[in-house]
Chain A
Amino acid sequence: MPESISSANISRTAPAEWLLARVAGPDRAAAIMGDLEELAATRGRLWFWIAYARTLITLGWRTPVAFVAGSAGFFLMMSFFSTLLRNPGPNRTAHMASVDILANAAVLSTGFLLVFSVSVWFATPFAILRFGFRDRMAQLYGVFFLLAAPLFFHSNPVSLVCALLTLAVIFAALFSKPWRRPMVVIASMSIAVLVSLVACNDLATKIYHPKFHLKAGLDAASADPIAFNLVSWLVVRLTFAVALLIASFACSRLHRWLLEERPALIGGANA
């Protein structure tokens, strides 16, 4: 093939290769594009683009689907959360008013589980769909999800037990060699979710309106038609979606750096 033709092909397919590199990595993307170019010499350009599209979907469907599922989990959690804020339950209200140590511990454990839930409800479906349930991080998230879910049953003893069990699992994972790295990724992911949510919320406050804040969005979800504000509702959800997008990017990067150990190249693994 003349050099000028191959150069023209490269410039034409450079954006396609860039996109493929987002889901497969730059080395793999270059090799795949090279293979498709080679096959297209006998099968035609239409075949090339159809094969490219199918390859892109086959390799990249997990991330967007995982993100949508994770976001759905997060917004479901937020709706439970706003319900909990509006209706804390007689049992909890009574305990909040007392100075009982156990009651205070229950309130603390509820707070801890709530903060932890923010990342868990997003990251559990995201991790299971993105990395598969065989992945240790996805398995740990599954456990944390099961421990955080009873929070919305409005029961102080249950919250306290779940918070203690969650802490026990965290420490056990940190002291166990195969689970340490997944736990580090989860801890980093929790921080990433919270930081990106707060940062995006602050940014939206400055850009959109000084009165914009988290509570406006939660009020918007309420049944009160006077409190409902469509623009606030949309801005809150868009803000959260951007924050979760940043967090999912951070999660994928951390997972690649800490958990995806590639075997040594030729001469090492195959020696």
Chain B
Amino acid sequence: MNPERTLGEFEQIVLLAVLRLGDAAYGVTILDEIAAKTGRNPAPGALYTTLHRMEDKGLVTFRDGNPTPERGGRAKRFVVVTREGRTALASAQSAYQSLLQGLDLLDAKLFGGAYA
């Protein structure tokens, strides 16, 4: 895998949600976590597209759980971030941190005093 691979914004959000959830990360809990922490309600299709793309890139893998009745007898598919996924996420986050360094986003001078 290319260590310089860039991640999209939604990919970073999904990876962070998966890391926060730990062993309990699967479709439903990831959607809930994203909604709770970001206020966004992503469509399930958008989440699955992103997860499948990241699986193809080797950023996440899946682990099958046990079938449950509330899922119509289907197994949960838990998401696990791979080492490559963590590296890519750390790289993307450090880029944000570098850009933010020395900036105070709530500083009124940045807005020309308009929001003072």
Contact = CB atoms under 8 A, between A and B. Distances in A.
Mostly, the A contact residues are helix
A270 B44 contact: no
A100 interface: no
A270 B73 contact: no
B80 interface: yes
Nearest to A263: B58
Contacts of A30: 74-75, 77
B56 interface: yes
Give the contact-size bracket for chain A. 35 or more
Interface in A16-54: 24, 27-28, 30-39, 41, 51, 54
A51 B74 contact: no
Interface stretch (A5-13, A75-83, A164-172, A220-228): A5-13
B20 interface: no
A211 interface: no
A59 B48 contact: yes
A1 B70 contact: yes
Contacts of B49: 58-59
Interface string B61-75: 111100011111111
A10 B73 CA distance: 8
B45 A31 contact: no
A39 B28 contact: yes
A13 B72 contact: yes
Please indicate which of the listed interface residues B27, B28, B68, B74 has the most CB atoms of chain A within 10 Å of its own CB. B74
A124 to B, nearest CB: 22
A31 B27 contact: yes
A58 B76 contact: no
A32 B75 contact: no
B41 to A, nearest CB: 11
Nearest to A11: B72
Given A36-B44, A263-B82, A266-B80, A9 B58 contact: no
A129 to B, nearest CB: 15
Interface of A: 1-3, 6-7, 9-10, 13, 24, 27-28, 30-39, 41, 51, 54-59, 260, 262-266, 269-270
Task: Give the 3 A-B CB pairs with smallest separation, nearest first.
Answer: A34-B74, A58-B45, A35-B27
